[in-house]
């Protein structure tokens, strides 16, 4: 199932993705995609210390993420990508693309 759904883990750091996107000079793209958060002139990773579930559209493109804590001390149990230009929660069914491949 890990391979079928391309599950992963996010590191327990506040700036892993933020640093990577800053290095590539695409921070604004990451903010727009909902991967990092910009607040009070600071940027930080949205997903930290979580099992990551890529959300694909019906053609297989990754359009968002769902995430679940694996350490009960880490705040919100589930965390999802925010609504973006690509990701509209009410229009997607998680796992549809993977089911079509079977």
User: What are the Cα distances from residue 61, in Å, to 4, 15, 64, 74?
Assistant: 14, 25, 9, 29
* Long-range CB contacts for residues 19-24, cutoff 8 Å, separation at least 24: none
Tokens of 80: 């999802």
Q: What's the confidence (pLDDT) of residue 71? A: 78
pTM: predicted TM-score of the whole model, two decimal places: 0.85
CATH tag, 2-101: 3.90.980.10
User: What are the Cα distances from residue 97, in Å, to 6, 61, 80, 84?
Assistant: 12, 9, 18, 20
75 — pLDDT class (breaks 50, 70, 90):
confident
* pLDDT for residue 5 is more than 80: yes
3-class SS at 36? strand
Domain-by-domain residue ranges, the chain?
2-101
Summarize pLDDT for 11-62 with one digit per residue, the tens.
Answer: 999 999 999 999 999 999 999 999 999 999 899 999 999 999 999 999 999 9
Q: What's the confidence (pLDDT) of residue 22? A: 92
């Amino acid at each position: 199932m890990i391979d079928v759904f391309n599950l992963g883990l996010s590191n327990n750091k506040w700036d892993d993705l933020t640093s990577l996107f800053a290095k590539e000079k695409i921070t604004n793209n990451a903010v727009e995609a909902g991967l990092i958060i910009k607040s009070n002139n600071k940027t930080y990773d949205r997903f930290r210390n979580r099992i990551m579930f890529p959300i694909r559209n019906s053609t297989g493109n990754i359009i968002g993420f769902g995430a679940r804590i694996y350490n009960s001390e880490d705040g919100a149990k589930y965390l999802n990508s925010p609504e973006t230009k690509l990701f509209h929660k009410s229009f997607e069914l998680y796992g549809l693309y993977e089911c079509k491949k079977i």
